[in-house]
Structure 1
Amino acid sequence: MRNFNLFRYGLISITGTAVAVLLIQLTQIGTVQAETREGNIGRGAVKMTGKALYEQSCLVCHGEDGEAVMPGVKDLSGANGPLLQDDKQLARSIREGVQRDGAMMMPPLGGNPRLTDKDIQKIILYMRKNF
């Protein structure tokens, strides 16, 4: 049986941002299922590190080492990157998302609606120590 590539014929068009959001959502579905299988039901039952939160919410676009892996995404490890902002500005960008030229470049909360302000602070601390 021959594969039919819908992208090749222009029947499906998807942007890099849409792919990133889809991947984030799929990652979260797997995380919720894993937490449920382990018996950790409820937000307070699971204490996640800044690294784990980054991997769950940011890694798909920003990469393992903070160097952008998606087109149009800022390099977190760069000398002129977003980490030059103070924690308050950086937290606001994570919470509200980032738009450039009217286009959503980063969804609010990195596409993870379960992120709390405490989680955001853990992510910022992890990024500052590692990038």
Structure 2
Amino acid sequence: MRIHALVAIGASLLMLSSASFVHAVKPEDNQATREKGKQIYEHACLLCHGVDGRGDGPAGWFLSRYEGPRPRDFRGGSYKFRSTPSGELPIDQDLFRTVTQGISGHMPPYSGLSEEERWQVIAYIKSFNQGFKGPVSIALLLPNPPGPPSAAGIDNGRTVYIKYGCQNCHGDNGYGDGKEALDGNLKDTHGHTISPGDLTERASFKGGSSAQAIYRGIMTGLDGTPMPSYADTIGGNDKDVWDLVYYILSLSQERQ
């Protein structure tokens, strides 16, 4: 049932996945822009990310202590949601996308800010990390989906899911109950035990639940977590990647 439902909405998924979050012309990254960004940061971001961007704001401590991952340490921490290879800093468009759409269950979307204001706060956030003053990272090629999913492709996606060990963390049926998770072996770079996403719940797709967002997560990994990049393994077979993407989407389709 869920396979047929997913195939039926394939066209709408294609349109959603190709949507762009970057429209406004970025203001020049200078002291004036960063000062305006600082004002926005102090009102909207400081409570979680802290005065110095270390992820140690008062609300951030509470979140990491009781509910979920620690807020991003902008000074040297890893960035999960990128279009760049694992271990590299995100490009500006990645930061803009995250600020705009938020992180499901953890960070609200800031689409209520004007696009200029979002670029200003991004300029200020980048000032915490000297790495952003170096050469700009090159984003991986992230193509649009090749076409609507098929039942045969989704079946192959299940095979790919097992072949690359996704079930070890996410579980046989995607509930986030794999052996590594149940044994408490999954930890972030701070040593905190973390839980893999429940792939049957769209809300657990923190980097976005569109087909292209899931493709991006598979190719780049989630730095700072046990989720690796598969660019050097499955990345050589684009059909298998897309079949895996649509299999993952099929796990949550029947609950929509």
Q: How high is the TM-score relative to the length of structure 1?
A: 0.52
Aligned to 1:59: 167
Work out the CA distance in 2 between the residues paired with 1:114 and 1:93: 13
Letter in 2 for 1:120: V
Q: Is the contact made by 2:157 and 2:247 (CA closer than 8 Å) also made in structure 1?
A: yes
Distance 2:251 2:213 in 1: 19
Q: How does 1:1-131 map to 2 (within 5 A)?
A: 49-57=156-164, 58-68=166-176, 69=178, 70=181, 71=186, 72=194, 73-82=196-205, 85-99=209-223, 103-109=224-230, 113-115=233-235, 116-131=237-252
Say whether the 8 Å CA contact 2:170–2:197 is kept in structure 1. Answer: yes
Q: CA RMSD in A?
A: 2.6
Deviations 1:13-66 (A, max 9, x none): xxxxxxxxxxxxxxxxxxxxxxxxxxxxxxxxxx98111001112111111111
Structure 1 residue runs without a partner (length 5+): 1-46
2:104 counterpart residue number = none
SS at structure 1 position matched to 2:203: coil
Tell me the amino acid that sits aligned with residue 129 of structure 1: S
- In 1, distance between residues paired with 2:202 and 2:239? 26
Give the secondary-structure state (helix, strand or coil) at the position aligned to 1:128.
helix
Contact 2:157 2:246 in 1 (8 A): yes
Aligned length: 81
8 Å CA contact retained: 2:234, 2:241: no
Residues in 2 aligned to 1:49 and 1:64: alpha-carbon distance in whole angstroms: 15
Distance change (3 Å), C-alpha of 1:77 and 1:130:
closer
3-state DSSP of counterpart to 2:174: coil
**Shift in Å, 1:112:** 6.9
Alignment gaps of 5+ in structure 2: 1-152, 187-193
More strand, by proportion: 1
- Cα deviation, residue 130, structure 1: 2.8
Q: Secondary structure at the match of 1:105?
A: coil
Query: Is the 2:198–2:204 contact (alpha carbons within 8 Å) kept by the matching residues of 1?
Result: yes
User: Could you tell me how far apart the structure 1 residues matched to 2:244 and 2:234 are?
Assistant: 13
Name segments (4+ residues, structure 1) moved above 2 Å.
114-117
